[in-house]
Chain A
Amino acid sequence: MAASAKPRRAAVIGGNRIPFARANSTYAKASNQDMLTASLEGLVARFGLAGEPVGEVTAGAVLKHSRDFNLTRESVLGSSLAPTTPAYDVQQACGTGLEATVLVANKIALGQVESGIAGGTDTASDAPIAVNEGLRETLLALNRAKTPGQRLKAVARLRPGQVVPEIPRNVEPRTGLSMGEHMAQTAAHWGVTREAQDELAVQSHRNLAAAYDRGFFDDLLTPYLGLTRDQNLRADSSVDKLAKLKPVFGRGDGATMTAANSTPLTDGASVVLLGSDEWAAERGLPVLAHLVDAQTAAVDYVTGHEGLLMAPAYALPHLLERQGMKLQDFDLVEIHEAFAATVLCTLAAWESESFCRDRLGLDAPIGALDRTRLNVNGSSLAAGHPFAATGGRIVASLAKSLEERGSGARGLISICAAGGQGVMAILEAA
C-alpha cells in the first residue's frame, strides 16, 4: 500500500450480549450455537438489520463440539440476518472475541467489507465430551478394516478402561498445569497480595452493579432464558466477605487466589457491530468509536521464562510506540480479569523498571496506571468469563464508555489467552 493511502478506521457501532450465566445453571442446556444466535438476534433487533446482509460475521468458541465446524455460519443461518451473509470461525483461546473484532475491523479498514459482526460464545456447561483416545483409535481401526479377520482384530483391542470419556480440562497441554496454577506462580513472583486481589474483585462487582443500576447495559444486553443480569454479579460483595474464602490455587501460606478473585466457569455470548463510517451513516446508525490499532504478543511460558498470562505486558510497548502514546494517556483501560492477580501482575510489570528494561527493552518504566480508569464498568471477575465472549463484551462496553466521555477519548483493551498469548486493541471515541 502506498504511504499516502492510509487505511480508514473501522467504526464500532454497537454491541449485544446475553447476560453471562454461571456454568451448569440457567444456560446448562443452551449450546454455543443457541447462545451466539441469541446474541445475533438481539443485535439485529437493536440495529434494525432483519433481512439485511452484513459483509461478514466472524466469531468463535474455545470449547467447541466437532459438529460445530461451521458454528458462526450456522448461527447466522438461524438468525434474522439475510442468509447471504458469509461467516467464518476463529479461535484464539480467550482472545477469540477481540481477535475476531480486529479481523473484521481490518477488512473494513482495507475496504474489503463495509460492515461486519464480530463475536464469540462459550459454554462450560454444554462442553464437548470426546471418546477415550484408545477407544477412538480402536473405532477408527474398525472403520478401516476390510475383512472379517481385520474387524475381529480391531474389536479385540477394546478394553474396559476405554469407556472413560475425554472431558476438556482447563489445563495447558505443555505443562500439565491449570491456568490457575500458572497464575499462582506469577502472582507469587510479583508478590501480589491476597488483599489487593480481593479489593480488585470487590471493585469489579461494585462497578458492574453500578453500571446495571444506571441503565448502562440497556442497549448492550438482551436477556436470555429469563436471565436479565450477569448471574455471577454480587452487588453486596465486600473485602471482609472475600477474606473468609480458602485459596484454591497455589500452595501453603503463599496461596492467595480464591474462587472470588478468580473468574468462575461461565456460559454466554457476545457480538459487536462494526462498519465503515459511510455504511453507518447510510443507515443512520451511531458510531461510538473507531478501532485505532491492535497488537498480539506471545511469551515463552513453557520453559518458565515468563508467566502464562503475561503476554499483554509485552504487546503494549509496540502499541505505545506506534501511536506515540503513554499508558497514562488512555482515558479508560480494560484489562480482562482472568484472575485479579493477572491484572495486578500486569500493572506491576509495567511499573517495574527492571522488567521494562530487561524484558521490554525500554529506557524507562511504562509507569503506574490511575486505577480510577481501570475496568470502570466491572470486568470478568463480576460478569463472568465465557472465554470467547469476553472480547465482544469489552469492545462494546468500552466503545460506549468512551462515547460518553466525548470525542477523541481513547481506551485500551488487554486480554490474556491460553498458550501464553495476549491480544490488545485501542479504541477512540468518534
Chain B
Amino acid sequence: MTGAYAGFVNSAVGTKLAAQLGLPRPVRLRRYAADAPLVEGPVLVAGLADAPVAEHVRTLLSDEGVEVVDAVPAGSRLGAVVLDLTTVTEPGDLDLVRVVLAPAVKALRASGRVVVVGADPASATSVAQAASRRALEGITRSVGKELRFGATANLVLVAEGAEANTDAAVRFLLSGRSAYVDAQVVRVGPGTPAEPADWALPLAGKVAVVTGAARGIGASIADVLARDGAHVVCVDIPAAGESLARTANRVGGTALQVDVTAADAGQRILDATGRHGGLDVVVHNAGITRDKLLANMDESRWDSVLDVNLGSILRMNEVLLGENGIRDGGHVVLVSSIAGIAGNRGQTNYAASKAGVIGLVDALSVDADLVRRGISVNAVAPGFIETEMTAKVPFATREVGRLLNSLSQGGLPVDVAETIAWFSQDANAGVTGNVVRVCGQSLLGA
C-alpha cells in the first residue's frame, strides 16, 4: 500500500482523524504467502434448499484444514462467508442473503471474503427465476461497497451441471491471491477441470509464455507463474533485454528477445517453447500507451498502440493457437484494462485496443475449434495498479485513482498476476470467456 493519503491515515494522528470524519482507511491487504492458510479463521457456509455447490465448498475447505461453521460462532470472527443461492427461483428467496450475511458481515475479519454463488440468469426457466438470479449481482456489488478493512465480495455464477467445476474459483476468491478482486462476477461453465497433484503448485510442469515480461506487471506475472510451478518463457523487445534477462533468471525461466509486432513473432515464440516440450499457457501482456486527446492524436500514436496491444495478438494467435501451437486444454490470458471498459480521457487509442481485447476474448472463447480442444480464453482488466507507469501520473490524479475504489488503495502488479495465474490453472478449466477486473471495485466503469 503506497501513497500520501494512505501514509497519512495510517499515522497516529491520521487514524484518529479519519475515524472521526469517516474517511476511507486503506489497510494492508491479505495476499498470498506460501505458509498462510487458504483463509484465516472459520468459514460460514450456507445455502438455499439443497445448495449443490455448498457441499463442494465444505469438502474443499475441510481438505485445506479450514474450519466450516453453519452460523457465526460466539466470540469468534469469520474468515469468510460462502452463500450458495444457485437454487433461487423467486425474489422471496433472496431474503436469505439478509438473514445470513447481516450477522456474518459484522463478524468478518480484515481482508475477509464474501463469496455468493448463483446460477446464470441467461439459462433461467422463468422470468421470476431470471430476475432473482440477476438480483445476486446487485447484492454482491453493494456488499462489496459496504465491506471495510480489505474485505471483498464476489459472485460466482455456475452454469447448469457445472457445480463440480467451482473449486478453483472458490479457492481463488477465498484466498489472498484475489486481494484486489472485488465485486466481480465469475462465470463457471462446463469444461473438464483437472485437480492439481498439489494445490500449492497448480501449474507444475506447465510451459507458459509471457509477453512484456521485462518489468512491471509482466515481470510480476512471470514471478507468480513460476512460483506456481510453470517454466516461463519471458518475452520482450530486444531493447529491454537487460531487464528481461533479470526476470528470466530470477524465475529460472528463459528470455526471448522479440518484438511482438514482428511478422514472425508467433513462430519464434513457439520455437522457443519447443525445447520445453510444448506450450500450455499464453499470456498476452505486452502493451504500450501513447496518450493524446483524440483531436491531437497522430497516426503513429494511434497505429503503434493498436498494433502492439491488439494487432500483434491477432497475428501471434494464428501460430500460437494453431494446430501445432498451444496444447489441448491450454489457457490463453489477455490483459485488458479498466480504460477498455470505462474509457479514459486521452486514451482513445489505448481504450480501443483494450476494449478490442475483450471482444477478442468473447469471440475466441466460443470458437468451435478452441472449445473442442478445451482451450480457455480469459482476460484481466486491471484498475489502478502501482507501477512505474502510474508513478508518472500527476500527484492529484494518482491519489484520486488510488482512492476511488472500495479498498481505498491501488493494487499491486502481483494482484493482476495472481488472477492471470488462476486463469492459467487446469483446475480452472470451467472458466472461459471471463473478463475479471482487478480494480478493488473501482468506481470507474462499474
Using a CB–CB distance below 8 Å, which chain A residues touch chain B? 38, 41-42, 44-48, 50-51, 80, 215, 217-219, 221-225, 228, 283-286
Contact = CB atoms under 8 A, between A and B. Distances in A.
Contacts of B250: 50
A284 B239 contact: no
Contacts of B245: 41-42, 44-46, 222
A283 B241 contact: no
Given A46-B256, A222-B242, A222-B244, 17 more contacts: A41-B245, A45-B244, A45-B246, A45-B255, A46-B254, A50-B248, A215-B262, A217-B238, A222-B245, A222-B255, A223-B239, A223-B240, A223-B241, A224-B242, A228-B238, A284-B275, A284-B277
Given A42-B255, A50-B252, A219-B257, A284 B274 contact: yes
B253 A222 contact: no
B275 A223 contact: no
Given A218-B258, A283-B275, A284-B275, A228 B239 contact: yes
B219 to A, nearest CB: 13
B241 A221 contact: yes
Contacts of B251: 50
B249 A50 contact: yes
Contacts of A218: 238, 257-258
Contacts of A283: 275
B239 A48 contact: no
Nearest to B249: A80
B276 interface: yes
B246 A41 contact: yes
A50 B252 CA distance: 5
A223 B242 contact: yes
Given A47-B254, A284-B276, A223 B238 contact: yes
B418 to A, nearest CB: 23
B373 to A, nearest CB: 24
Contacts of B242: 38, 42, 222-225
Interface of A is mostly: loop
A285 B275 contact: yes
A401 to B, nearest CB: 18
Contacts, number: 71
Contact of A45 (B239, B249, B274): B249
A215 B249 CA distance: 23
Q: Which 7 A-B pairs have the closest CB atoms?
A: A284-B275, A45-B255, A45-B245, A48-B254, A45-B248, A80-B249, A222-B241
B274 A46 contact: no
A189 B252 CA distance: 55
Contacts of A284: 274-277
Contacts of A224: 242
Contacts of B231: 48
Contacts of A222: 241-242, 244-245, 255, 257
B90 to A, nearest CB: 58
Nearest to A16: B245
Nearest to B275: A284
Contacts of A221: 238, 241
Contacts of B240: 223
Most chain B CB neighbours (cut-off 10 Å) among A38, A41, A46: A46
Nearest to A81: B249
Contacts of B274: 284
A41 B242 CA distance: 9
B262 A42 contact: no
7 contacts: A42-B241, A42-B255, A45-B246, A45-B253, A48-B253, A50-B248, A219-B257
Nearest to B264: A215
Contacts of A41: 245-246, 249
A413 B160 CA distance: 69
Nearest to B257: A218
A217 B249 CA distance: 20
A47 to B, nearest CB: 7
Contacts of B257: 218-219, 222
Nearest to A47: B254
Interface string B218-236: 0000000000000100100
A228 B259 CA distance: 14
Contacts of B277: 284
Contacts of B249: 41, 44-45, 50, 80
Nearest to B243: A223
Most chain B CB neighbours (cut-off 10 Å) among A218, A221, A286: A218
Nearest to A285: B275
Nearest to A80: B249
A399 B356 CA distance: 42
A217 B237 CA distance: 12
A267 B238 CA distance: 20
Nearest to B233: A48
A286 B248 CA distance: 19
Most chain A CB neighbours (cut-off 10 Å) among B248, B253, B255: B255
Contacts of A48: 231, 248, 252-254, 275
Contacts of A285: 275
A221 B244 CA distance: 12
A38 B243 CA distance: 11
Contact of A46 (B252, B255, B262): B255
A41 B241 CA distance: 11
A345 B277 CA distance: 50
Nearest to B231: A48
Nearest to A224: B242
A240 B251 CA distance: 51
Nearest to A228: B239
A218 B255 CA distance: 11
Contacts of A286: 275
Most chain B CB neighbours (cut-off 10 Å) among A45, A46, A223: A45
A23 B244 CA distance: 26
Contacts of A44: 245, 249
Nearest to A217: B238
A285 B275 CA distance: 6
Contacts of B241: 42, 221-223, 228
A11 to B, nearest CB: 14
A103 B169 CA distance: 56
Most chain A CB neighbours (cut-off 10 Å) among B238, B245, B250: B245
Contacts of B238: 215, 217-218, 221, 223, 228
B105 to A, nearest CB: 46
Nearest to A38: B242
A208 to B, nearest CB: 15
